[in-house]
A and B are shown apart, each in its own frame.
Chain A
Amino acid sequence: MEEMLESNEMIIHLGPQHPMQPGPFRLNLRLKGETVMDAEVELGYIHKGIEKILENKTYLQGITIVDRICYLVALTNEECFVGCAEKLLGIEPPARSQYIRVILEELSRLQSHLLGLGEFGEFIGFVSMFMYTIKEREEIVGLIDMVTGARVTHSYLRFGGVRDDLPAGFKEKTLPVLNNLKKVISDYEEMFQSDRIYRERTAGVGILTADVAKSLGVSGPALRATGVPFDIRKNEPYLVYKDLDFKVCTETAGDCAARVQVRLNEMRESIYILEQCFDQIPNGPLFPEGTPYGRRTPVMRVPAGEVFHRVEDPRGEMGMYMISDGTDKPYRVKVRGPYFPTLQALPPLIIGTTVADVAAISGSMDGCTSEADR
């Protein structure tokens, strides 16, 4: 980048630690005045080698490792990993376990979107937003804690089921939180729509069109904000999503405001899914009967084979490619996180904008560098 520098240009490095970034990565910007002429992302500051670690851990131990890919979405990471092994084992969790998983994953989606909104507010200088959303998120995290016993890295899913049943009174505790959240989401929406500075910072900024988003490989809210109704829960239903009524939220503008709006609408849909789950959840066992699978299956050999399983993460399409050679450890696990291609698409999106907009665009992607690095 230095070689291309003209006399009236300068390079600034945002990061690896910078208040406007979701995690440690370095963004090198070549600037002419305030305009971004060129941008480059440098990754690796939080690379953990998770794919290699997984090859050296048993499947049960692997569940605790995939939690650490991104602590915000630990449950969807577990779902993807456990789902891969279940497909190889040829088992399916019983209906009650599937509903419990959906309940927890939707709660997880709510808390992830809430934190994403708060961080976005902070990036564009609306710091109070973080205070509002973190308060509501705390309620949700408390509910997840009540079931799994952990706030962030839960290790809760098991092959063929879940570790524990929902505690008594969980529904009664959850529904008031959801009702309150519905009201709060409308408040956020009103706040965003009535704030002129917010509109100017986000509307028409960082526009992605549907064709460009597709060619960049983007998924999740950033893609749906361009009008493409791509959602793994609909396109390739897993668990009991095919029995649940929900719509895929899309917007057409493709700018920062549209991405935020998609997240707000998705939170409403998640609440609707949760309400249906509480009405429909059947009683029954947590693990398939007549199989050795339970909450403590110590040694488990997975039949040789390979599988590619996808789930819908709060940030988009999460996929894992698992190869088993018939032993108790996976031969290879490739983690295809949703933020990896989204972060890759950041440089083309910010070239031509101003430095101030970089924070808005990067924030509206709701990133998790930990997952991009793995």
Chain B
Amino acid sequence: MDARTIIESLTGKFPEAISEAGIESPIRIQAYVDKDKAKEVCQYLKDSLQFDHLCSVCGVDYPQRNELEAVYHIASYDHAVVLTLKARLPRDSPEIESIVPVYWNANWYERETYELYGIVFKNHPNLKPLVLPEEMLGEWPLRKDYEGFPNKTARNLV
């Protein structure tokens, strides 16, 4: 399955939801997806285009545009094409549907993206911090305007 076929199939099936689809190289394609359709698109990718392997889910912060992006890297065990699927989210209330029902291993990636960026994955089975302690929830340390975590241990001692 080559990059052009995948792009054509994807834009043909979701003309409204998919935008700015492009081919970077024969094995790398990318597209923006409407945030309400992300899960549906993932389901289609998995069922019809052999994208059965979720590489990662991550967030990117763009304070100038007042946006966060949720970025999914979706690959396949059969072909070498990797799709970078991005969804634009408003920075003050970033919410997107969880894709755990489609890709089982999205669970931890979404938990991590949630604690680092504050992106809320709706209908996630267990949305709680993964690598950070509970008291750091709300700090969103990977956002660009994060200025460091106050040393709460020392404060408690005083």
Across-interface contacts of B108 in A (CB, < 8 A): 340-341, 344
> Considering only CB atoms, which chain B residue lies closest to A334 in the complex?
B58
B127 to chain A, nearest CB (A): 15
Task: List the one stretch of A150-158, A174-182, A295-303, A317-325 in contact with chain B.
Answer: A317-325
Mask, B66-83, CB within 8 Å of A = 1, is 000001010001001010
Query: In the assembled complex, which residues on chain B have CB atoms less than 8 Å from the CB atom of A43?
Result: 130-131
Q: Is A247 an interface residue (CB 8 A)?
A: no
Chain A neighbourhood of B58, CB < 8 A? 321, 332, 334
**Chain A residue at minimal CB-CB distance from B106:** A217
Count A/B pairs, Cβ under 8 Å: 71
- The number of chain A residues touching the other chain, given as a range, is 20 to 34
Q: Indicate whether A214 sits within 8 Å of B77 (C-beta atoms), given known contacts A49-B141, A321-B58.
A: yes
A215 lies within 8 A of chain B by Cβ: yes
Tell me if B142 and A51 are in contact (CB < 8 A): yes
Q: A57: CB under 8 A from chain B?
A: no
Residue from A44, A217, A334 in contact with B53 in the complex, judged by beta carbons closer than 8 Å: A217
Residues B141 and A319 in contact, CB atoms below 8 Å apart: no
For B133, the chain A residues whose CB sits under 8 A away are 44
Main secondary structure of the interface of A (DSSP, over half): mixed
B contact residues, total (Cβ < 8 Å): 30
Min CB gap B52→A, angstroms = 6
The distance from the CB of B151 to the nearest CB of chain A, in whole angstroms, is 15
**Chain B interface: which of A77-85, A161-169, A228-236?**
A228-236
Q: Does B11 contact A (CB under 8 A)?
A: no
A9 to chain B, nearest CB (A): 21
Contact A214 B60, beta carbon cutoff 8 Å: no
Chain A: minimal CB distance from B64 (Å): 10
B43 within 8 A of partner (CB): no
List the A side residues contacting B27 at CB < 8 Å. 236
Judging by beta carbons under 8 Å apart, are B71 and A44 in contact?
Answer: no
Supposing A228-B77, A319-B56, A334-B58 touch, asked if A44 and B131 sit within 8 A by C-beta, the answer is: yes
- How far is it, in angstroms, between the C-alpha of A317 and the C-alpha of B132 when the chains are bound? 24
CA distance A41 to B144 in the complex (A): 29
Pair B55/A336 contact, Cβ less than 8 Å: yes
* B44 CB–A CB distance under 8 Å: no
What 1/0 mask marks residues of chain B from 109 to 126 whose CB sits below 8 Å from any chain A CB? 000000010000000000
Other A-B contacts than A52-B142, A331-B60, A345-B105, 10 sampled, CB-CB below 8 A, are: A44-B133, A47-B131, A49-B141, A52-B141, A215-B104, A217-B54, A228-B77, A319-B73, A341-B108, A373-B131
Write the residues of chain A forming the contact surface with B, with a CB cutoff of 8 angstroms. 43-44, 47, 49, 51-52, 214-217, 219, 228, 230, 235-236, 306-308, 310, 317, 319, 321, 323, 331-332, 334, 336, 340-341, 344-345, 373-374
